[in-house]
C-alpha cells in the first residue's frame, strides 16, 4: 500500500465536520500523517456579493468579504480543534480556498500533494446535491487519489 502522508479532510462546518475529522484521525492513527482541514468559500457566495456591491458602495467589497469569511471560518475550525481534537492539533493544518467546492478539492489534491481525501457524503447542500449531484460524488468520480466518504449511520442506516 502507498504511504499516506497527507489527508485532505473536507470540513464544511456542517454537523458532519467533526465526524469527518474523527474518521481522518482514526485512519491516520500511528502514522506520520498530516491532516489538511480544507474548507471552501463557494463562488456562488462571492458572486452574490459582487451583485450587491454596486448597490451598496463601500458596504460590500468582495476582497474584504472574502478576508472576513476566511477569518470567521478559520476561527470556527480552530475552535472545533480546541474543543474536540486538542491532542492531535499539531497534526492538522487549516486551508481555506475560494471556488466551486468539488473543483477546489480536486485542485487541492494536486497542489497540496494529497494521498487521500476524507469527505462527508452529505453536507450543507442536501437538496441541490440530490438534483445536480453532490460535491462528494463529483470528487469521488474524478479524484486521482482514494476517497473515503463518511456517513452518519444513525441518519442513513437501514433496517434490514
The reported pLDDT for the residue numbered 1 is 60
Grid coordinates standing for 78? 480552530
pTM for this model (two decimals): 0.85
- In the sheet that holds 116-120, the strands lie side by side as 92-99, 34-42, 6-10, 116-120, 147-150
Domain ranges of the chain: 6-152
Class level of CATH domain 6-152:
alpha beta
The reported pLDDT for the residue numbered 155 is 55
Determine the Cα–Cα distance for residues 17 and 22; give it in Å rounded to an integer: 9
Contact 33, 116 (CB under 8 A): no
Determine the Cα–Cα distance for residues 99 and 46; give it in Å rounded to an integer: 9
pLDDT in tens, the chain (160 residues): 678 999 999 999 998 999 999 999 998 888 889 999 999 999 988 887 777 776 766 666 788 889 999 999 999 999 999 999 999 999 999 999 999 999 999 999 999 999 999 998 864 454 444 433 488 889 989 999 999 988 876 655 554 4
Tallying the residues shown for the chain, one arrives at: 160
Amino acid at each position: 500500500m502507498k504511504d499516506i502522508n497527507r489527508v485532505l479532510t473536507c470540513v464544511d462546518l456542517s454537523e458532519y465536520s467533526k465526524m469527518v475529522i474523527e474518521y481522518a484521525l482514526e485512519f491516520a492513527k500511528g502514522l506520520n500523517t498530516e491532516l489538511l482541514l480544507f474548507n471552501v468559500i463557494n463562488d456562488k457566495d462571492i458572486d452574490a456579493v459582487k451583485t450587491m456591491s454596486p448597490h451598496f458602495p463601500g458596504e460590500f467589497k468582495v476582497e474584504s468579504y472574502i478576508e472576513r469569511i476566511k477569518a470567521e471560518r478559520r476561527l470556527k475550525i480552530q475552535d472545533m480543534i480546541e474543543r474536540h481534537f486538542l491532542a492531535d492539533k499539531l497534526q492538522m493544518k487549516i486551508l481555506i480556498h475560494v471556488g466551486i467546492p468539488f473543483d477546489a478539492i480536486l485542485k487541492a489534491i494536486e497542489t497540496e500533494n494529497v494521498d487521500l481525501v476524507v469527505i462527508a457524503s452529505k453536507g450543507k447542500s442536501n437538496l441541490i446535491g440530490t438534483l445536480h449531484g453532490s460535491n462528494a460524488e463529483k470528487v469521488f468520480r474524478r479524484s486521482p487519489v482514494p476517497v473515503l466518504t463518511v456517513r452518519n449511520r444513525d441518519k442513513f442506516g437501514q433496517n434490514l
